Structure 1
């Protein structure tokens, strides 16, 4: 009976390497930290203004000031995920 030809295995070629991620721009960290600090200051000013004078500071939007401060903090923390 005739013998079949043996197959040669192809040599292994590794997949191409991915390019390294570019570093963040120089303004990234100050903006990131600035948003987090601004959100914290916003909430502190709201609580101090409400407890001392009863006024809605920094904006007259009631308890939505907490949402604004939290949104600023969340925006700052979300920037940390892209920081290289």
Structure 2
């Protein structure tokens, strides 16, 4: 259950972060390639192409990353023995 919840959390964080990176990449694309701004062409390119692609890629990446971290945490979890007190 922990793995699934962390994967969903990673999906949400990854989607938000990926969307932000997608917007940044789209704005960079417009500046580098001098995309036309006739009737909002450049804004539609950013918000209908780069942002959804960034959100999908970021969501998948975040979900996989959080799931792998949760799985590794479950495998590595070692029970620590209580520290024995020395008799003096």
Shorter-chain TM-score: which interval? 0.3 to 0.5
Q: Please, what TM-score do these two structures have when normalized by structure 2?
A: 0.39
Greater relative contact order: 1 or 2 (C-alpha under 8 angstroms, separation 6 or more)? 2
TM-score normalised according to structure 1 size: 0.40
Larger gyration radius, structure 1 or structure 2: 1
